[in-house]
Amino acid sequence: MTTTSSSFIDRSSAILSHLEETGQLKHLQMIESPMGPRISIRGRGEVDCFCSNNYLGLANHPDVVEAGIEGLRKYGAGTSSVRFICGTFAPHEALEERIASFLGVEASYTFVSCWNATEATFPTLCQDGDVIVSDELNHACIIDSMRLTTAIHRGVSKVIYKHSDMESLREALVSATEKRSDDGTIFVITDGVFSMEGDIALLPEIRSLCNEFGAILVVDDSHGTGVMGETGRGTHEHYGMAGSDIDIFTGTLGKALGGGAGGYVAGKREAVELLIQRGRPTLFSNALPVTVACSAKAAIDTLDANPSLVQKLRDNVAEARKGIGEVGFEVLESPTAICPIIVGETATAISMSNKLLDMGVFAIGFGYPVVPEGTARIRVQISAAHETEHIDRLCSALSQLKNAT
């Protein structure tokens, strides 16, 4: 019989006890309904949901759901293989062509998550002598991909620049130029929309600096695709840029585009093909479930046929930001669907989140280590599926919290 080390159990128990004592222990909420503006939580009943990435309300859209059901009927529950053996189905090809055309780039390739897609990108595309330049507030998947890359390729360097500070980026690019080998490549990676701040990358300025220094621009637009730009193409469209202005995109199918699961890399054909040939997450892990591929393609088709969804989201964001401000809370400025209310300490954010849930409003508190210490926040996320009545209840609950402090 195998026994678990008592020191490991004691250590783990001590960490969990500390989290509970300091009010930082997270509790999973069991949802018993489809995702939407109003959901049912076990033991609580119906609540207004303001913490979902379902930005366009497509997670339970009938066309998206039906496409997934039809895919399940036609192709079964699983792929039972990696892509290069026998795990590539016709819907994978159709989705990847659709993603590429939607973004206006040469090619795309799907993974089971954007984390996987990002994890594949730098370890596959980088070689010794290359340098990765990254915004200090980039998503955790980018940070871990860089860590993995520098562990695999000891000759790859990384340089971090201050958040959205173009002078700092210039300095980082000067440093990267000095660090790279004669035949090395500089990659600049940034979120399009920053998930905790809700602000957007200065893509035109970053593109200009990449051109000046001969760097490859990589944009993770997971929170921007479907949200930013007149037709929801993403952060680049918000700035009037073409998809081809971005060398490589990473993104998700698990947020605005139906919320099922899955991620992708899109951009230059050579980069995508190299990931197909050498990317370990696709070579050694099952393909994206076909039913998800079918739903995701239907979500893109639905967005293209209903661009008013993007305007509805934008109107809802403006209404929510106005209401939250009138209540007396400070919301970080941004044009995105993410509305962070800074409250200070992690325990405060979690306590406020719990009180909101008691009032029938589901919005999550985030603290350290997800965000820097002292900047804990309630992250309110708006959807095109919200109506004025939902936003009014959010603001009413926040007002009660404000008056109680």
Q: What are phi and psi of 83, to 5 degrees?
A: -60, -40
Q: Is 195 a catalytic residue?
A: yes
d(CA 279, CA 298): 27
Please spell the DSSP secondary structure of 140-190, one letter per residue: HHHHHHHHHHHHH-TT-EEEEE-TT-HHHHHHHHHHHHHHS-TT--EEEEE
* pLDDT tens digits for range 294-351: 999 999 999 999 999 999 999 999 999 999 999 999 888 888 999 999 998 888 998 9
**241 against 198, higher pLDDT:** 241
Q: Are 344 and 374 in contact (CB under 8 A)?
A: yes
Three-state DSSP class for residue 344 = strand
Give me the pLDDT at residue 403, please. 87
Residue the block writes with tokens 């590429």: 100
Give me the pLDDT at residue 61, please. 97
Report if residue 57 sits inside a domain: no
Peptide bond into 335 cis (omega under 30): no
The whole-number average pLDDT for the span 39-58 is 97
Residues 285 and 141 in one domain: yes
Identify the CATH number of the domain in which residue 131 sits.
Answer: 3.40.640.10
Q: Are 186 and 214 in contact (CB under 8 A)?
A: yes
Looking at 259, 285, 305, which one is the last position of a domain? Answer: 305
Give me the pLDDT at residue 3, please. 65
Residues 299 and 211 in one domain: yes
Give me the pLDDT at residue 1, please. 54
**Looking at the predicted structure, is the pLDDT value of residue 391 above 70?**
yes
The whole-number average pLDDT for the span 356-385 is 92
Give the CA radius of gyration of the chain: 22
Residues 231 and 361 in one domain: no
**Looking at the predicted structure, is the pLDDT value of residue 193 above 60?**
yes
d(CA 20, CA 26): 8
Q: Is 40 a catalytic residue?
A: no
Q: How confident is the model at residue 49 (pLDDT cuts 50, 70, 90)?
A: very high
Tokens representing 294 are: 């079918």
Whole-angstrom CA distances from 401 to 120, 221, 243, 351 are: 44, 33, 43, 11
Residues 160 and 272 in one domain: yes
Count other Cβ atoms within 10 Å, centred on residue 193.
26
Looking at 259, 278, 305, which one is the last position of a domain? Answer: 305
Q: Is 92 a catalytic residue?
A: no
Residues 231 and 217 in one domain: yes
Report if residue 186 sits inside a domain: yes
266: part of which helix (H) or strand (E)? Answer: strand 263-267
**Looking at the predicted structure, is the pLDDT value of residue 197 above 90?**
no
Residues 82 and 178 in one domain: yes
Report if residue 40 sits inside a domain: yes
Residues 295 and 246 in one domain: yes
Tokens representing 250 are: 């990473």
**Looking at the predicted structure, is the pLDDT value of residue 6 above 90?**
no
Three-state DSSP class for residue 133 = strand
97 contacts: CB under 8 Å, gap ≥ 6: 108
The whole-number average pLDDT for the span 126-132 is 97
Give me the pLDDT at residue 347, please. 86
Report if residue 262 sits inside a domain: yes
Q: Give me the half-sphere count of Cα atoms (radius 13 Å) on the Cβ side of residue 369.
A: 3
d(CA 157, CA 176): 8
- Among 255, 297, 312, 386, the active-site one is 255
d(CA 329, CA 165): 26
d(CA 362, CA 69): 29
| Nearest residue to 65 via CA among 290, 287, 298 | 298
The residue type of 49 is: C
Give me the pLDDT at residue 367, please. 86
Tell me what the pLDDT averaged over the chain comes to.
95
- Boundaries of domain holding 393: 22-51+307-404
Looking at 305, 334, 360, which one is the last position of a domain? Answer: 305
Residues 156 and 289 in one domain: yes
d(CA 166, CA 60): 40
Tokens representing 267 are: 């951009």
Three-state DSSP class for residue 89 = coil
Report if residue 150 sits inside a domain: yes
The whole-number average pLDDT for the span 187-194 is 98
The residue type of 11 is: R
Give me the pLDDT at residue 332, please. 83
The whole-number average pLDDT for the span 249-258 is 96
d(CA 141, CA 162): 18
Residues 257 and 398 in one domain: no
The whole-number average pLDDT for the span 378-392 is 97
The percent of residues above 70 in pLDDT, for the chain, comes to 99
**Looking at the predicted structure, is the pLDDT value of residue 48 above 90?**
yes
Using the 8-state DSSP alphabet, how is residue 287 labeled? P
d(CA 76, CA 20): 43
Give me the pLDDT at residue 196, please. 87
Report if residue 291 sits inside a domain: yes
Residues 239 and 136 in one domain: yes
Q: 168: which strand partners?
A: none
Report if residue 240 sits inside a domain: yes
Residues 94 and 219 in one domain: yes
- Among 223, 297, 386, 390, the active-site one is 223
| Nearest residue to 262 via CA among 277, 272, 271, 251 | 251
The whole-number average pLDDT for the span 68-82 is 95
Give me the pLDDT at residue 144, please. 96
The whole-number average pLDDT for the span 227-252 is 97
**Full-prediction pTM beyond 0.85?**
yes
Q: Give me the half-sphere count of Cα atoms (radius 13 Å) on the Cβ side of residue 321.
A: 17
Give me the pLDDT at residue 2, please. 62
Residues 231 and 378 in one domain: no
- Among 52, 164, 195, 222, the active-site one is 195
Report if residue 3 sits inside a domain: no
Count other Cβ atoms within 10 Å, centred on residue 143.
17
Total domains, the chain: 2
